[in-house]
Amino acid sequence: MLIKMVIAGFGGQGVLSMGLNIAQAAMLEGKNVTYLPAYGAEVRGGTANCTVAISDDEIASPVASSPEFVIAMNQPSAVKFQHHIQSGGLFFLNSSLIEAEIVRGDIEIVRVPANKIADEMGGPRAANMVMLGAFTKKSGVVGLDNVLQALKYTLSSKKKLIDINEKALIRGYELD
């Protein structure tokens, strides 16, 4: 089993944090993992993406030229990565910010109003966790308990953010 995914959006949307949480959760489950972040010099407001590969065996390359999963948090990322995802894959779109029509009929599209839900919860910066929760449930790649445990680890230096992020993650997980 080798699973590859790409997570993309603007810098500051927590794209790299989502990838890191997925990677940490997979390691907690005893999987081999690679995590490859990429971001422009602009960082906040520029483009950012990361590739996560998860496997039971050693991973030869962290590159995901044809990932099974893509999470796009903004319109430019949706347009850019819609043609990268392999046939039969899952394409998660932040429908709060993405209006682009996806022209592929061979993938499943999961629309999550991540920003809208995070705003309603009073934590607008937690849109990434809403999306991560929806991804966790729909993909089944990692378990919710391990994602929650990974979140505590990745936010260990920012303890005041753990509560709202946990709530947003669970809210995304509970979406239908």
Q: What's the pLDDT score for residue 34?
A: 96
Closest CA to 129 of 104, 156, 166: 166
Distance CA 22, CA 34 (A): 10
Domain ranges of the chain: 2-173
Q: What's the pLDDT score for residue 43?
A: 53
Q: How far apart are the first and last CA of the chain?
A: 27
pTM of the model: 0.92
pLDDT tens-digit readout, 103-143: 888 999 999 999 999 999 988 899 999 999 999 999 999 99
Helix (H, G, I), strand (E, B) or coil at 33: strand
CATH, domain range 2-173? 3.40.920.10
pLDDT tens-digit readout, 71-97: 999 999 999 899 999 999 999 999 999
On the question of pLDDT at 22 being above 80, the answer is yes
